[in-house]
Amino acid sequence: MTAKKFVFVILFTCMAGLAQAQFLKIGGITVQATTTLFVDNGEAKSEECDQLYNVSFKDMMLAHNIYIGGVLNQSQFYQLNSVNRYMNGEITVLKFNALSGRSGMTYSYEIKIDADGKLMSLVCTEESGNKTTYKGGISELKTFKQ
């Protein structure tokens, strides 16, 4: 292999790694949930939904908005803690807990993003162990703290 080819391969590999790791350093992310997947009496089910999860890792806040018929029905803030970000192969995994100031309950979240920057899933686990999986789209959230 020539020196030029070797340098090109090294640069390409480094750039591919940086592109995948871009979500590890993201300050915030918005998930637009359009489908809910859940288990009801042992049966897997799915339903359409219209929810926004605005997660600011820099501000340590989560804003969850639920829309019904295109109209905002519920909106609540949560305080983040235990944020963990890592790569699992080519998949970016963002795990965190969110504390509700209203109920005092803590919810565990896991967001998976594929190598192309598309949402694979957002999984919410309640304290009871019940899990709900959301599918939809993502975009970068512009946080208050820069």
pLDDT digit string, tens, across residues 1-37: 565 554 444 434 444 444 445 678 899 999 999 999 9
Q: What is the model's pLDDT at position 146?
A: 84
Q: Residue 23's pLDDT is what?
A: 75
pLDDT over threshold 80, residue 61:
yes
Of the two residues 51 and 20, the one the predictor is more confident about is 51
- Strand-pair category, 71-88 with 91-100: antiparallel
Mean pLDDT calculated for residue range 94-101: 97
d(CA 55, CA 95): 11
Rounded CA gap, 23 and 33, in Å?
A: 18
What confidence score (pLDDT) does residue 15 get?
Answer: 43
Q: Could you tell me what percent of the chain has a pLDDT over 90? A: 80
How is residue 89 written in tokens?
Answer: 């192969």
pLDDT confidence of residue 2: 61
Question: In this predicted model, what pLDDT tens digit does every residue of 107-117 receive, in sequence order?
Answer: 999 999 999 99
- Do the beta carbons of residue 81 and residue 97 sit within 8 Å? yes
